[in-house]
Amino acid sequence: MEIQVRGGASLRGQVRPPGDKSISHRALILSALAEGESQIFGLSDGEDVGRTASALSAMGAAISLPDELGSPEAEVRVVGGKLSEPSKPLYLGNSGTSMRLLAGVCAAHQMDVILDGDESLRSRPMQRIVEPLSLMGAKVASASEVDASESDLSASQAISVPSKAAPPLAIKGGNLSGIDYTLPVASAQVKGAILLAGLRANGETIVREFLPSRIHTEEMLAKCGADIAVTYGGEFHQTTKLRPSQIQPHIWRIPADPSQSAFWIVAALCAPASEIVVENVYIGPGREGFIDVLLRMGAKMEFEQKISASISEGFSDAPSRSIPPPGIPPSGIPSIRAQTSSLIATDIGPKEVPRLIDEIPVLAVAAAYAQGITRFHGVGELRTKESDRVASICTLLRSLGGQIEAEGDTLTIQGTGGLQHGQVDAAGDHRIAMSAAVSAMAMPAGSEVSISGWEAVATSYPRFLEDAAVLGVRAQGTTAQWTT
Ligand code: S3P
């Protein structure tokens, strides 16, 4: 599917992006593990979260979805507590978070399961979860030479196939023991997989991290009664200790996704005469790095703390931001007002990268619209995302006349104050597609960007174009205009 986005926009108005994707996956999983009925308000309506829901249903969780997902009021009910072996391989589409978190869940249950996904997911690294889950006692291996569509195939057959750790993954779970594990890569998905497995392991599970990553699994486990403790400092940034626990049902209210909010914020900062409000955005440890960077670049943003930080409570002392900028809550669910700004270049260090990993494509667009040279250091992990984002960010900016170089793990962008019309291939990657759309929104009237592969956006933000139209309708004169 190809779309065209026109320049000449002045973004005005108010939007509420979908419920946070990371929190949505975890709310479904924890609700499926808790005995009894949980409620989830504001679940993401993206396909990725739908994959987690379908997989949990196939394992016996009773999930009732409202007719229309996507609003903060939409209520999902989950009756969980008794997961069992699914009759077929679990197909997880494009969703790396589903695969890694569910691998932890399956490893902790007496079941033989195969987890599979689309071509992109099949190429993503899984050794990072295979290692710790195997150390805990699960049998986890790649079943890449196995036809995962064969529903009668048991994981115990599949794991005899020697192969590198790539999906489909065959898991034979149960009888786990806790481990003391230091994450070799900063990854909240790996941490989440280990902690979800640790819920049903014998003894204590400890996860140690050198760099901050998002803390949703920890804070959400605490909220539903798990025996979990988090400490900061010493040799590690964070140490998480979990003892086996039966978690309790919970009412989850999911705030808007900061990673999706970043698209509107950058569009408003770069497009002329724009002023928007993005409502009720989750700003918590491990997710707020893009705000620090945009503030350093001179972004005009204000934060209004409108409702209580129901998800963030309890872990708000997590010191992921070393020096909180003045006026910014360290965590919470503020609405964010953003206005057209003259952006200047900045340097992003390797330690910051895990806190803004998903926002780098759109921050690269901001850097192209800024004045000066912006460098992102230590971005090697970007090569392991839905596309090789080092390559796809370079292609995106170059297709629109931008100047960008990748050398080793450093991206260098020469900001020239703008980008030009052109054609972009989304490379099967939702965040590349939406970043291309943002590039176009900030261009002068008369410019147009064609984006092929737009369908990838459904994985995380199916209503992106509707929200764009909301901001456009309130604008004066010509705004972003869409043809499909
Ligand atoms: C996520 C963690 C990050 C992020 C992904 C969602 C999560 O991945 O890029 O979009 O929900 O835990 P890594 O754990 O691979 O860094």
Give the phi and the psi of residue 401 in degrees, each rounded to 5. 80, 10
What mean pLDDT is reported for the chain?
A: 89
Question: Which pLDDT score, from 0 to 100, does residue 476 have?
Answer: 22
Last-in-domain residue among 224, 253, 282: 253
Alpha-carbon distance values, 472 to 11, 66, 460, 469 (Å): 6, 28, 21, 5
CA dihedral 392, 393, 397, 400 (to 10 degrees): 40
Asked if residue 483 has pLDDT above 90, the reply is no
User: Quick one: 304 and 406 in the same domain?
Assistant: yes
Write out pLDDT tens, residues 3-15: 999 888 899 999 9
Rg of the chain taking only CA atoms, in angstroms: 22
User: Quick one: 12 and 113 in the same domain?
Assistant: no
Q: Sign of dihedral through CA atoms 337, 340, 344, 350?
A: positive
Q: Is 97 in the pocket of ligand 1 (CB under 6 A)?
A: yes
- Please report which confidence band the pLDDT of residue 260 belongs to, taking 50, 70 and 90 as the band edges: very high
**In CATH, what number is assigned to the domain containing residue 47?**
3.65.10.10
Q: Would you say the pTM of this structure is higher than 0.75?
A: yes
User: Quick one: 403 and 449 in the same domain?
Assistant: yes
User: Quick one: 70 and 206 in the same domain?
Assistant: yes
- Please report which confidence band the pLDDT of residue 309 belongs to, taking 50, 70 and 90 as the band edges: very low
User: Quick one: 315 and 454 in the same domain?
Assistant: yes
Query: CA 364 to CA 162: how far, in whole Å?
Result: 40
According to the per-residue pLDDT averaged within each range, which of 325-334, 354-363, 439-448, 463-472 is highest? 354-363
The number of the ligand 1 atom at minimal distance from the alpha carbon of 385 is 9
Give the phi and the psi of residue 229 in degrees, each rounded to 5. -135, 140
Ligand 1, atom 10, residue with closest C-alpha: 358
Write out pLDDT tens, residues 34-69: 999 999 999 999 999 999 999 999 999 999 999 889
Q: Sign of dihedral through CA atoms 82, 84, 88, 89?
A: positive
Residue among 358, 425, 429, 467 flagged as catalytic:
358
- Structural domain containing residue 404: 2-18+255-482
> With contact defined as beta carbons under 8 Å apart, do 275 and 269 qualify?
no
- CA angle (239, 129, 242) in 5-degree steps: 35
User: Quick one: 212 and 244 in the same domain?
Assistant: yes
Q: How far is the CA of 3 from the centre of ligand 1 (A)?
A: 28
Count up the domains in the chain and report the number: 2
Q: How far is the CA of 475 from the centre of ligand 1 (A)?
A: 34
Question: Which pLDDT score, from 0 to 100, does residue 331 have?
Answer: 62
Q: Is 22 in the pocket of ligand 1 (CB under 6 A)?
A: yes
Question: Which pLDDT score, from 0 to 100, does residue 144 have?
Answer: 61
In the chain, pLDDT over 90 holds for what percent of residues?
A: 81
Q: Is 357 in the pocket of ligand 1 (CB under 6 A)?
A: yes
Ligand 1, atom 16, residue with closest C-alpha: 187
Last-in-domain residue among 253, 277, 296: 253
> With contact defined as beta carbons under 8 Å apart, do 102 and 132 qualify?
no
Write out pLDDT tens, residues 117-158: 999 999 999 999 999 999 999 999 987 645 444 444 455 444
User: Quick one: 276 and 245 in the same domain?
Assistant: no
Q: How far is the CA of 189 from the centre of ligand 1 (A)?
A: 5
User: Quick one: 329 and 216 in the same domain?
Assistant: no
The answer to whether residue 388 is catalytic is no
In the chain, pLDDT over 70 holds for what percent of residues?
A: 88
User: Quick one: 405 and 259 in the same domain?
Assistant: yes
Q: What tokens does 314 get?
A: 């309890």
Beta-strand ranges (E) seen in 343-437 are: 347-348, 371-376, 403-407, 410-416, 422-425
CB atoms within 10 A of CB 153: 19
Last-in-domain residue among 253, 277, 309: 253
Q: How far is the CA of 274 from the centre of ligand 1 (A)?
A: 31
Q: Is 188 in the pocket of ligand 1 (CB under 6 A)?
A: yes
